């Protein structure tokens, strides 16, 4: 059995500009097919608009409110909302208030799978 505590994970900045703490991925557990991280954005900040060729993502909002854009469609998101981001879908999230969310990627998140143009 492998158990990680989020408090033990060091934050880093992803290629899209969000601050994340990896909860479970190949760097801290024997994970092969997915990754789970906590991401945060200060009020008024946003990730860079991007897409992933390989990974499908889920965002699950833990704290705050935001605006989620996927392929030009924008919806407000708040605590308890789960968002599906299909692979190859352009996306960006903007923090209307300080925002904290879980991000699950399958296959696992990799900087090399983040594209801006």
Confidence band, pLDDT 50/70/90 cuts, at residue 71: very high
In the structure encoding, which two tokens stand for residue 24, read together?
Answer: 């479970």
Q: Which of 101, 116, 85 is nearest to 23 (CA)?
A: 101
pTM: 0.93
* Residue 80 pLDDT greater than 80, yes or no: yes
What's the confidence (pLDDT) of residue 15? 83
In a domain, 32, yes or no: yes
- Spatial contact of 68 and 59, defined as CB atoms under 8 Å apart: yes
Cα-Cα-Cα-Cα torsion 36, 27, 53, 84, nearest 10 degrees, comes to: 0
In a domain, 4, yes or no: no
| CATH code of the domain covering residue 72 | 2.60.120.10
* Residue 24 pLDDT greater than 90, yes or no: yes
In a domain, 48, yes or no: yes
What's the confidence (pLDDT) of residue 2? 94
Q: For residue 21, what are the domain limits?
A: 11-113
Q: Per-residue pLDDT tens for 90-110? A: 999 999 999 999 999 999 988
State the average pLDDT over residues 35-52.
95
């Amino acid at each position: 059995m492998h158990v990680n505590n989020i408090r033990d994970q060091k934050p880093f900045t992803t290629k899209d500009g969000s601050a994340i703490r990896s909860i479970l991925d190949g760097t801290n557990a024997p994970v092969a097919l997915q990754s789970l991280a906590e991401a945060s954005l200060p009020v008024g900040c946003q990730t860079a608009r991007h897409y992933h060729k390989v990974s499908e993502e889920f965002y699950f909002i833990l704290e705050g409110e935001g605006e989620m854009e996927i392929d030009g469609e924008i919806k407000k998101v708040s605590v308890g909302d789960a968002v599906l981001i299909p692979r190859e879908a352009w996306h960006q999230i903007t923090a209307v208030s300080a925002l904290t969310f879980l991000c699950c990627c399958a296959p696992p998140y990799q900087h090399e799978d983040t594209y801006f143009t």
